[in-house]
Structure 1
């Protein structure tokens, strides 16, 4: 059975080329996520895909973020992988009382991307697509005012809007 979105995917790939980019490294399931996100509009999906590629290339030039670039954030030991939910989604535990507002916002953003990449990759397990949903349990026990980070929340949500694939 042919993919019901083949025409839309073809239009999207052509629109990506017209925007001066390429989707050669990506398979149809990845491109379909952009189509779905843009209500199956190939031109809007192509624009979003190209913007994501540019963001990803500039923010994660190695294709991953090494621990050395987020060492200060890792020192706090505030987030852990806890296995998988009954539905197979990666489960993360965030100890909110171990988070402190970042002195270096760029490092904090890289830390978020690194953890999301690792969580998504653990759900995909070597395939291009798969279980891209994650579960985050926030432990707020012993949370204090010193742990509240409005800029960190804003940065995290902005990243969640642009990150689409490891």
Structure 2
């Protein structure tokens, strides 16, 4: 680790302590995500970490959200978890044509946390390091107006930005219909620059080739140019974590 990173980490730990929270249970890779998200500013990173810590304690008091808590959303079978990409990132696929805006926004937020936590946990090698990332695919094929959920998309990206800093490696958007362009423009206003730079709208043959190459044919389902089968999120069983 570079000297300036070590200094920033030390300063961040001190700032977190001053704000009444402890970093004792968290290693450098976890704290570095918050520093990177706040341009290596220790005070801003500490504030973000403390906000995340308090949010996590209140919103996810049991450390995870179980399948039973989000069973209605899982029934739609719209989220798929495909194993690791060529670079070792878990691949999560959202089929938007199977999604319908939720009337219960709190329940939707729980589902977002459930799917993000499970996707990230699927990359653990028995124990969390703290810097694991994910790749997302938003497949808009065959969507209609009743599937459009700008509020849900904004919530998903805001959760990634606020509570899962530097967890997103890349997000690919496939099969975007013409009527969704204006929706995406609106959603984009809520994206931080660092998030926007990780989003790729795949719209031609060259971009499709690059997308397949970056994810890897072994992990990518057949319908996207790979060799794998789609695996619904709830069918993925994670190995128990080490103590």
What TM-score, normalized by structure 2, do the two folds share? 0.63
- In 1, Cα distance between equivalents of 2:16 and 2:93: 38
Offset of 1:149 from its aligned partner?
1.0
Which consecutive segments of 4 or more residues in structure 1 shift more than 4 A? none
Separation in structure 1 between the aligned mates of residue 134 and residue 9 of structure 2, nearest angstrom: 26
Verify: 1:157 aligned to 2:132, yes or no.
no
* Cα distance in 2, alignment partners of residues 71 and 25 from structure 1: 31
Tell me how far apart the structure 1 counterparts of residues 35 and 105 of structure 2 sit (CA, whole Å).
31
* C-alpha distance in 1 between matches for 2:142 and 2:8: 50
Deviates more, 1:55-64 or 1:84-93: 84-93
1:1-166 alignment, distance < 5 Å: 4=3, 5-125=5-125, 126-130=127-131, 132-164=132-164
Q: Look up the match of 2:207.
A: none
How far is the alpha carbon of 1:96 from its aligned partner? 0.9
Normalising to structure 1: TM-score of the pair?
0.90
The whole-number CA distance in structure 2 between the counterparts of 1:32 and 1:142 is 40
Q: Distance in 2 between matches of 1:12 and 1:135?
A: 28
**Per the alignment, in what secondary structure is the counterpart of residue 109 of structure 2?**
helix
SS at 1:92's partner residue?
strand
Query: Helix, strand or coil: the match of 1:86?
Result: coil
**Residues matched between the structures, number:** 164
CA distance in 1 between partners of 2:60 and 2:147 (Å): 27
CA distance in 2, matches of 1:12, 1:152: 32
Q: What's the CA shift string for 1:73-129, capped at 9, x where partnerless?
A: 111010011122211211122111110010211111111111111111122332323
SS in 1 for 2:81: strand
Offset at 1:67?
1.2
Structure 1 residue runs without a partner (length 5+): none
In the alignment, the residues of structure 2 paired with residue 16 and residue 64 of structure 1 have an alpha-carbon distance, to the nearest angstrom, of: 24
2:101 and 2:149 in contact (8 A); partners too:
yes
- Distance (whole Å) between structure 1 residues aligned to residue 6 and residue 142 of structure 2: 52
CA drift at 1:30? 0.8
